[in-house]
Amino acid sequence: MLASDLLSNEYSVFNATYIKAVENKTVLQGLNDGLLQLIKFIKNVPSEKLEYRYTEGKWTIKDIVLHMIDTERIFAYRALRISRGDKTPLPGFEENDYVPFAFANNRSVESLLEEFENVRKATISFFENLNDEQLLFLGTASNTTISVRAIGFIITGHQNHHLKVIEQRYL
């Protein structure tokens, strides 16, 4: 199943941007390819650019990497709850509130990449063990309906989005 196979009731208009950022891959292909892609990409960023801000108040590349880690954790948690039949509406989160308290710029790029790899491998393992029925389960997050399979694509599309931003504005 590809991102283009998702139905319009499986994700919000806001998340459509991330869904569209996924090429013709399955959820697992996107997650697996994204793991290697991000690590290779960030390792090739010049060290002086890792804490660069293209304008005042913007995140650094290290901030972006940790933001992707935090977001993946939150979305994987949502997928877990929904895939287990939990009908509790899940709250949204304000990404801009997380970054100042994450202290990404106090960390080495190696530690960020190690954490990303650990989180992504856990996400992959989780999605590998879902059956077709669980992938179709719908739940509520951020006051909108979302499917488990859409969450997998959103994680990949979110990463693709941020790598494109880094290429365009930081390098």
Distance CA 82, CA 80 (A): 6
In this prediction, residue 98 carries a pLDDT of: 96
Distance CA 47, CA 34 (A): 21
In this prediction, residue 23 carries a pLDDT of: 81
pLDDT at 69 over 90: yes
In this prediction, residue 36 carries a pLDDT of: 96
In this prediction, residue 152 carries a pLDDT of: 98
In this prediction, residue 65 carries a pLDDT of: 98
pLDDT digits (tens, 9 = 90+) for 118-147: 999 999 999 999 999 999 999 999 999 999
pLDDT-based confidence at 77, cuts 50/70/90?
very high
23-27, 49-53, 166-170, range with the lowest pLDDT: 23-27
Distance CA 23, CA 21 (A): 6
Contact 163, 42 (CB under 8 A): no
Mean pLDDT in the chain? 97
In this prediction, residue 100 carries a pLDDT of: 94
CATH number for domain 3-169, candidates 3.40.630.40, 3.40.390.10, 1.20.120.450, 3.60.130.10: 1.20.120.450
Domain positions in the chain are: 3-169
Average pLDDT (79-93) is 97
pLDDT digits (tens, 9 = 90+) for 10-49: 999 999 999 999 988 999 999 999 999 999 999 999 999 9
The residues with which 141 forms a beta bridge, in sequence order, are 90, 144
**pTM, full prediction:** 0.96
In this prediction, residue 146 carries a pLDDT of: 98
In this prediction, residue 8 carries a pLDDT of: 92
- Assigned token pair, 21: 């950022």
In this prediction, residue 111 carries a pLDDT of: 98
Distance CA 155, CA 89 (A): 19
Average pLDDT (47-74) is 97
